[in-house]
């Protein structure tokens, strides 16, 4: 089945720093790719997604570009805020069905 490898955490940054969280995937075909975020004490919620190669997903200042050449979907933000402190999960569908395979998650802490 499809799989995803995500950058290990935890990651600690100062406010207004640039953020990159790496995600690479192994998949059959060209599935949609997802980033989910989990804020403290909450369930996961969709942060952004891209449905085809070269698409850029964006939301709340975060961006990720679907790169089929490098099989990557890295998450970036130009200037992080304390409120971005959360756990971030990269996800890829299992081929041909409704299930998602999630990465292990990257815990991000932003310090003022």
Partner 1 sequence: DVKVTQSSRYLVKRTGEKVFLECVQDMDHENMFWYRQDPGLGLRLIYFSYDVKMKEKGDIPEGYSVSREKKERFSLILESASTNQTSMYLCASSYLAGRTDTQYFGPGTRLTVL
CB nearer to partner 1: give 55 or 102: 102
Residue 11 contacts partner 1 per CB under 8 A: no
Residue 41 contacts partner 1 per CB under 8 A: yes
Q: For residue 26, report the phi and psi dihedrals to the nearest 5 degrees.
A: -125, 125
Residue 35 contacts partner 1 per CB under 8 A: no
Interface mask toward partner 1 for 46-65; x: CB under 8 A: x--x----------------
Alpha carbon distance 6, 111 (integer Å): 22
Interface mask toward partner 1 for 71-100; x: CB under 8 A: ------------------x---x---xxxx
C-alpha pair distances (Å), 50 with each of 8, 18, 58, 67, 112: 22, 21, 9, 10, 31
Q: Give the gyration radius of the chain's Cα atoms.
A: 13
Q: Note the Cα 28 to chain centre separation in Å.
A: 19
Contact set with partner 1 (CB under 8 A): 6, 31-32, 34, 41-46, 49, 89, 93, 97-100, 102-105
């Amino acid at each position: 089945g499809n799989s995803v490898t995500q950058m290990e955490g935890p990651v600690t940054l100062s406010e207004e720093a640039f953020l990159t969280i790496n995600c690479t995937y192994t998949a059959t075909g060209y599935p949609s790719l997802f980033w989910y975020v989990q804020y403290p004490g909450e369930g996961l919620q969709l942060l952004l997604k891209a449905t085809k190669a070269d698409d850029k997903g964006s939301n709340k200042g975060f961006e990720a570009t679907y790169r089929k050449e490098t099989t990557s979907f890295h998450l970036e933000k130009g200037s992080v805020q304390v409120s971005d402190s959360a756990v971030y999960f990269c996800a890829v569908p299992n081929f041909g069905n409704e299930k998602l395979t999630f990465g292990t998650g990257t815990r991000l802490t932003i310090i003022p």
